[in-house]
Amino acid sequence: MNHADGAHTDNPVPRTVSNLLVHVLGTHVDHVHDIVTRLEMEIDNIELHIDKGGHFMRKLLLDGRRFPKMHLDLQRLLQVVSHGEQVFPRVKERCASKSWFATEDIAALEDLIGRLRRLKENLGFITNRVTTLQASLDSWQSEQINKSLYYLSFLSIVFLPLSIVTGGKFSMLVIIVGFPIIRLFPVHG
């Protein structure tokens, strides 16, 4: 990549130390912004698949443990952004007092601080979306478990009287005759 061509007019080659510092910090913020954008797109994609995929997709997401990993990634990213939000104003204060630091670069640093604050807000929204998705999947899983338990209880209602009737004959003989039926009807395993 040749910066001297002027091919990248939106990101010019730094000419001074202050330009270089703003360029490095801006590249950092751009990288964090790209990560946040990818996370937003991934969550949009997951929501779309959940809406379209139904049972299979929900089961796959629950089994894959994707959301706990995403929460961990979001916490790490929030730490990075919070650290930048604390450090960038200090850098701006210290550099503003230096004679070699240009005033337009101070304005650029203020812009970067504003971008970091907006990124932090976006990360908060993304965290809420992930939490909501996880809660909806947990609710769906609870519904599935309740449905299975309902079917099992229905089956036990049907088959419990049968087991009492079939098991009850032998126990009634024990009570009437007075000796264990096990000796009369040996069970071979």
In tens, the pLDDT along 33-75 reads 999 999 999 999 888 888 887 777 777 777 777 788 888 989 9
Given CATH 1.20.58.340, say whether it is the number of domain 3-145: yes
Question: pLDDT tens digits for 130-152?
Answer: 999 888 888 888 888 888 888 88
Give dist(CA 79, CA 112) in Å, integer: 17
In Å, the largest CA–CA distance within the chain is: 111
Q: How many angstroms separate the CA atoms of 28 and 22, rounded?
A: 10
Per residue, the 3-state secondary structure of 138-177, as one string, reads HHHHHHHHHHHHHHHHHHHHHHHHHHHHHHHHHHHHHHHH
Does 161 have pLDDT greater than 80? no
Q: Model-level pTM?
A: 0.69
Band of the pLDDT at 8, cuts 50, 70, 90?
very low
